Amino acid sequence: MTVRGQRGLLRQIREVMADGSSAQARLDGVVQIIANSMVAEVCSIYLRRTSEELELFATEGLNRAAVHNTRLRLSEGLVGEVARAGQPLSLTDAPSHPSFAYRPETGEDPYNSFLGVPLLRGGRTIGVLVVQNRAMRQYHEEEVEDLQIIAMVLAEMVAGDLIGGDELKDIELAPHRPERLKGAVFADGLTQGVVILHEVPVTPDHLLADDPQAEEKRMLKGIDDLRAQIDEMFEGQHGLAGPTFDVLETYRMFAHDRGWTRNLLEAVRSGLTAEAAVERVRNEQRARLNNARDTYMRERLHDLEDLGNRLLRVLAGKNTTARDIPENAILVARDLGPADLLEYDRKRLKGILLEEGSAASHAAIVARALQIPCVGRLSGLRDKVNQNDPVIVDGETGEAYLRPRADIIEATGARMDVRALRRAEFDKIKDAPAITRDGHRMTLMMNAGLEFDLDIMHEVGAEGIGLFRTEFQFMVSEDLPRLNRQTELYGRVMDMAGDKPVTFRTLDLGGDKILPYMEMDREENPALGWRAIRMGLDRPALLRMQVRALIIAARGRELRIMFPMVASVDEFRQARELVDIECQWAKRRGRALPSILRVGVMIECPSLLWHLDALLPMVDFASVGTNDLTQYLFAADRTNPRMSDRYDVLSPPMLRALSVIQKAAEDSGTPVSVCGEIAGRPLEAFVLLALGFNRLSMPPAGLGQVKRMVLSLDVETASKAIQRLMTSSYGSLRSEVLALARKLNVAL
């Protein structure tokens, strides 16, 4: 069939699907059109029911009495085989096939040749399109491709034009029933809105090419550009460390795979646009890999998804896509990078649902900074929602409600009202000093990493920025930020903070923090590898450029610099020497030095617990990074979903480690704060204050509830009780701590 013929056929199908008649009448018309165009004596459409059966819904050529009466289980018969495999099946002698299942009510006895193709949507089979003939004939490759194109367009049309009608209420054209998914809390909050898919399928109106040869050239250029992009990342033109070797190697392997390229080009040559070809190949890959029993092969689906998304962006002529979204948008994706999240208008983005990820991922960190509820690790999420579906994001319980029932919506609204009242309560106390009932003054600051975080600082009443993650600027940039760009950012941050202190943590890259323009050697355990201060000391030019930018940006103001992941006193000495060198550089050139320069260290490596007596007298301040300290103390990768919840920070080992740090800091007179995620959770913050810490830095969403807790606390009484609990042999003290807080009437 020529491209013109395909367009004419699809135009006829579109007209029938849009004529306003019943769903049954429209599908009856479609099978007649396809049968005539394909010169087939039979054309049938089977649709998938919610009962996981394939129902004969329309036919031209078979017995009409079989419509709605013939049903096949998935994988039953030839139709079921097509649905199970998610691939076309062409036979010259169908009755001899081992999967053939004879259904006398259909009257298909005379028909020998069989061609069936799946109706795929989002990689999921929603039905099967079949043509049959009496003659034992071999369907040509072009006929198979023609029917696949028809099926691809028909799947979108059926789901778009027919969904919602009473006639199809029990047909699984697309997910439409209320569903509750259980995942994990990545960012606290509760909200409801409509689904916005991070990667939207190509619409039916943009499937067929006007000029297949021109479209093939577009595809070839897009593939070449994609390969060059990935090769450049792989070769590491900037000579830095970054994406894991394995990830880039996988991308390059797939991008250069001849089979993948051949499939894309064949799809284009069949008359599809380049974008539609990517969508078709991606659908087929997903259907195939979703049925694979091998876990490794199923995981490769995500690599292919990312590669397809990259190619679509290349074809669009841009690396990122700024998109208009509605006022109550809930972003749905398999996973996100921080740069992806920042493409969306944060005033309109109300929530995030992710199929993968972890609470320690950068998307989750940014979501918390923006105070956007986020739930992740929602298995199968992407295939269970449609664009504009109503959803609820429950960042309190780690649940997502897809197409929620009226009673769930009402209950959620009531809970949101309660949260609004609580926020109003927090607003009343945001400017009040954080003083406990027994007179102890606490300092509550917030973590930040992006410029607009400073607006939030004033909204939530933070007393400063206890941790500014400087690597975020590097992670959202397409190339290495040079001196001027870094200086401008740090200067704006200090300007916006005004008289409130800002502690800048130097680059904490490597491990799970990867950049698109960086290369690194393969590491078996990157979390314990070449990262953070280790990278800075091995590549001093990178660290010195950042320190220089900070000194210039200070312009005679106070400057606080903190080094991450210091594991030994010698590492701190070397890093401090680089700061001194840059101060001398600025002085020789007549630049203003900071009025006050304070250099600190993050305590994240357990090795420092036994050398604090040597380290703390050398530093101006210290901050406990509980996220990393916990994972290193328990040898549990916090980015691994199987491990992230395995150990509790409210356990005797962790509390004793924190107590050792606090006591050493007190003995040396060194100010120490806690800047991990636990500082923003009232129960954990209650314990930190009871251990003697009086400076906490947290995600902005935690400030109100932690301050309310502080104002209700008698810290002396709590301290004595916590010291007794620390002698326990239990693996977690959470229930005991919760009971204690309630006994002391602490506001949680």
Q: Which residues are catalytic?
A: 362, 675
**Residues 204, 208: Cα–Cα separation, whole Å:** 8
**Residues 422, 708: Cα–Cα separation, whole Å:** 10
544-549 LR contacts (CB < 8 Å, sep 24+)? 544/578, 544/581, 544/582, 545/482, 545/483, 545/486, 546/470, 546/486, 546/506, 546/507, 547/506, 547/578, 547/579, 547/582, 548/483, 548/582, 548/585, 548/586, 549/483, 549/486, 549/487, 549/490
For residue 256, CA distances in Å to 226, 230, 253, 640, 734 come to 10, 10, 5, 30, 51
**Residues 622, 505: Cα–Cα separation, whole Å:** 11
Give 38: exposed, middle or buried? Use CB within 10 Å, 0-12, 13-18, 19+: buried
For residue 85, CA distances in Å to 38, 194, 285, 388 come to 23, 32, 11, 29
**Residues 79, 56: Cα–Cα separation, whole Å:** 10
DSSP 184: E
> Could you tell me which of 296, 328, 280 has the C-alpha nearest to residue 87?
280
Owner of token pair 């023609």: 146
Helix (H) or strand (E) holding 696: strand 695-698
Sorted by sequence, the CB contacts under 8 Å of residue 30 that are 6+ apart come out as: 13, 16, 17, 45, 58, 154
**Residues 569, 557: Cα–Cα separation, whole Å:** 28
If one counts every other C-beta atom within 10 angstroms of the C-beta of residue 22, the result is 12
Instruction: List beta partners, residue 53.
Output: 73
Q: Report the half-sphere exposure of 374 (CA within 13 A, side-chain side).
A: 32
Q: What angle do CA 356, 565, 569 make, to 5 degrees?
A: 165
Q: Report the half-sphere exposure of 440 (CA within 13 A, side-chain side).
A: 20
Helix (H) or strand (E) holding 327: none
Q: What angle do CA 696, 651, 727 make, to 5 degrees?
A: 110
Instruction: List beta partners, residue 329.
Output: 194, 349
89-91 and 113-121 beta bridge pairing: antiparallel
What is residue 710's three-state secondary structure? helix
**Helices 3-17 and 141-157 sit at what angle, rounded to 10 degrees?**
30
